[in-house]
Amino acid sequence: MAEYGQHPSSVLTLKSAHDFDTTIARVKTLLATAGAVVFADVDQREAAEAAGLTLRRTRLILFGNPKAGTPVMAANPHAAVELPLRLVVWEDDEGHARVDYRDVSQTLGPLYGITPEVLGPLQRVPALIQDAMH
């Protein structure tokens, strides 16, 4: 794989077994099945092109479930800057779809002091995303 730059260890990068559009559809379907709401789907390539720039296919998806996120924000209002959750689907130079997701167990817990009990529902997200990749 080509080098795409450094990223924090809390960012999980997964290679999809599916093309870009199928990966987007599978991610959205699995999130909905798990009770999450997709709040926004931002086509960052389209925004770049509108500004006269080029960018690989890149979509930012903001999602969450108020039943899981509200207890986090109630425990620490500063943690709201991390919510809703987000993931990015992007296409690498070989045409493979990849998904980046920041693991909340490495951010909300240590950075905001959110207890594992409160984080529990959010910690299922990486497994959902992995399921979408297969």
At residue 24, the pLDDT reads: 96
Kindly state the average pLDDT of the residues 120-127.
89
Q: How far is CA 71 from CA 56, 83, 116, in A?
A: 36, 11, 12
What's at 5, amino acid-wise? Answer: G
CA distance 99 to 132: 10
Residue 5 lies inside a defined structural domain of this protein: no
Counting residues of the chain whose pLDDT is more than 70, the rounded percentage is 98
At residue 2, the pLDDT reads: 57
Please say if the pLDDT value at position 61 is more than 50. yes
- The strands making up 58-64's β-sheet, listed across from edge to edge, are 11-15, 97-102, 85-91, 58-64, 37-43
Model confidence band, residue 1 (pLDDT cutoffs 50, 70, 90): very low
**Residue, of 132 and 85, whose pLDDT is higher:** 85
What is the pLDDT of the chain when averaged over all its residues? 93
Residue 19 lies inside a defined structural domain of this protein: yes
| Contact assessment for residue 128 and residue 12, using Cβ atoms and an 8 Å cutoff | no
Residue 103 lies inside a defined structural domain of this protein: yes
At residue 10, the pLDDT reads: 87
Residue 6 lies inside a defined structural domain of this protein: no
**Residue, of 15 and 5, whose pLDDT is higher:** 15
Domain containing residue 44: 11-133
Q: Indicate which CATH number applies to the domain containing 102.
A: 3.30.310.70
Residue 97 lies inside a defined structural domain of this protein: yes
Residue 95 lies inside a defined structural domain of this protein: yes
Residue 127 lies inside a defined structural domain of this protein: yes
At residue 38, the pLDDT reads: 97
pLDDT digits (tens, 9 = 90+) for 71-123: 999 999 999 999 999 999 999 999 999 999 999 888 999 999 999 999 999 98
Residue 114 lies inside a defined structural domain of this protein: yes
Q: Which residue intervals of 53-115 are DSSP H helices?
A: 66-75, 104-112
Q: How many domains does the chain have?
A: 1
